[in-house]
Amino acid sequence: MGRPPYEITAAILGLYGQIQERLGQCRGLMLTRPEARLRRGNRIRTIHSSLAIEGNTLQLDQVTAILEGKRVLAPAREILEAQNAILAYEQLRLVDPLSAKDFLSMHGILLKGLVEQPGTYRSGAVGVVKGNEVKHVAPGAAMVPSLMSELFQYLWRDKDPIVIKSCVFHYETEFIHPFQDGNGRMGRLWQTRILMDDSPIFEFLPVESAIKRNQSGYYEALADADSQGKSTPFVEFMLGRILESLDEILSTAGNHIADHEARVEYALSQLNGWFDRKQYLAVCKNVSTATASRDLKRMVREGIVEVRGTGRMSQYRLS
């Protein structure tokens, strides 16, 4: 397989540029890690949408109840699908996006109790059937390990932007169909994990909701990529959904003013070594000098940073 076949079109470049612009706006608003309430809501929407794309009939409030450990009246399989997905997304930051071993282990979590051998590549032939028509015949099972190995090597070695490579990986997972079941869920889950290395905001960005809203376009993009023998149409589609999701979170932010915890987390992700109040203000642009001083004093009091010097000469560093 080598490098997966696709082209960097004008449309892809335009969408990529807009995504980077929106990510810059998120950084300016310190939205790289949304506040707890928004994180939780977006995570629930992500899980609900990814399951719904695969035919799970649970409603949003039912997924919320399952997350809270409450009893839900629904088919046992659908409840288990939700429970598995909740656990998988909770553990997503702990896995290496470049590791095929971690990819398999995550499938083991996502499909536990739903297939005979979760966490292993398929041993038989598979295809995608819509109605009475075969839409896609996947490569033979014997080819799967080497194809997936090459795909992970592409992630590691290729110099294209992470955002674009995440879309290519998503498509190729669908094309190779490495598992007997759960390929769509794994493609979407792993794209999120890859994106998290580009910006932490992607951990809680409900791109799956944007896909669900345009589910017919999702399948059309997959079919177009199959017919063209390259993932270009799918990359364009997915970049559009990522942009849509970023626009949504920015629109809900409005005149967002980050709270103390969000400011501190963001600032410390941007500042290395010793820094002073002026540098803190340069990162947290929307706060006053007095607020910056209070933030720094609280950080010292809570043991988050250590301090040297006094008054205006004070400098701080992560403890």
Q: What is the pLDDT of residues 239-289, one digit of tens each?
A: 999 999 999 988 876 545 567 777 787 788 788 899 999 999 888 877 789
Would you state the CATH architecture of domain 10-253? Orthogonal Bundle (1.10)
Would you tell me how many other CB atoms lie within 10 Å of the CB of residue 199? 22
* CA nearest to 253, candidates 289, 208, 207, 205: 205
Region(s) of the chain under CATH 1.10.3290.10: 10-253
Region(s) of the chain under CATH 1.10.10.10: 260-318
Amino acid at the residue 1: M
Q: Which of 56-60, 131-135, 276-280 has the lowest mean pLDDT?
A: 131-135
Return the CATH number of the domain spanning residue range 260-318. Answer: 1.10.10.10
pTM of the model: 0.82
Q: What percent of the chain has pLDDT over 90?
A: 73
Structure tokens at 75: 């088919």
Long-range residue pairs from 213-221, CB within 8 A, at least 24 positions apart, any chain: 214/241, 215/53, 218/53
- At 63-92, the pLDDT tens digits run 999 999 999 999 999 999 999 999 999 999
